[in-house]
Amino acid sequence: MTKSRLQITLDGSHTLFNTFVDETYHSSFGAIQESKHIFIKHGLAHFKDNLKIVKILEVGTGTGLNVLLSYLWAEENNVGIEYEGFEPFPLQQYEVASLNYSELLSIKNEIFSLIHSNKNNEIELSNRFALKICKSQIQKAQLRDNYYNIVFFDAFSPVAQPELWTTKVFTKIFKSLASGGILTTYSCKGSVKRSMREAGFDIEKVPGPPGKREFLLATKG
């Protein structure tokens, strides 16, 4: 799962191509553009005016791009974040160093290094942003019930990782969400929608970023 090649996407931001699953970590139309659209604009931004602290769960933290964008959002909007990610295959140091996100987002490189520095312990990226990345598969995670406000479901595709896009995994996540919590993901596959509905979610299709017609927003009503 760990062999990768650096690629440049159409918005100028990097992604990695994982040779084990034959997929990139992000859309080739723009890594930053896609992550901002799906996880920030149509995800995190829901909570801007109604929560002082947003609790985020990410499935597959990978390059750390969603952590970085959430950090920026928290700083810009003066909102606290508790971020818990699950990533069984953390990047190698040279892979982290090759990514151009800090430069493109005008963030100190120390923040990006910090995101990747510490596994399984909570660290503070700022006084409003606490981060813990667990080196574990989401299937093995012990999640608190009724806890998270938002889940970034960012595993590899249902074709590459069918074991993750199942009713069983979505039920576990549904239980861990607080009432009114949401799950965002880039996939819009029929089987994914069915599994999410079986887990109890209400599903909405939302217009996607360039290169992607729609993506899924699932809500715990």
Ligand X SMILES: C[S@@+](CC[C@H](N)C(=O)[O-])C[C@H]1O[C@@H](n2cnc3c(N)ncnc32)[C@H](O)[C@@H]1O
> Is the distance from CB of 192 to CB of 185 less than 8 angstroms?
yes
Backbone angles phi, psi at 43, to 5 degrees: -125, -85
Binding string, 152-191, against ligand X, x = CB under 6 A? --xxx----x--x---------------------------
Question: Tell me, what DSSP letter sits at residue 175?
Answer: H
* Burial of 145 (C-beta count, 10 Å sphere; 0-12/13-18/19+): exposed
Does residue 87 interact with ligand X by CB under 6 A?
yes
Strand partners, 58: 85, 152
Q: Whose Cβ is closer to ligand X: residue 6's or residue 180's?
A: 6
To the nearest whole angstrom, how small is the minimum distance from the Cβ of residue 106 to ligand X? 19
**Angstrom distance (rounded) from CA 68 to CA 75:** 11
- Binding of residue 137 to ligand X (CB under 6 A): yes
Partners of residue 218 on adjacent β-strands: 183, 203
Q: Which CB atom, from 119 or from 180, has the smaller least distance to ligand X?
A: 119
Residue 97 is a binding residue for ligand X (CB under 6 A): no
CB nearer to ligand X: give 80 or 88. 88
**43 or 60, CB closer to ligand X?**
60
Q: Is 86 in the site for ligand X (CB under 6 A)?
A: yes
Q: Helix, strand, coil % (nearest 5) of the chain?
A: 30, 30, 40
Q: Which residues bind ligand X (CB under 6 A)?
A: 1, 25, 35, 59-63, 65-66, 86-89, 137-139, 154-156, 161, 164
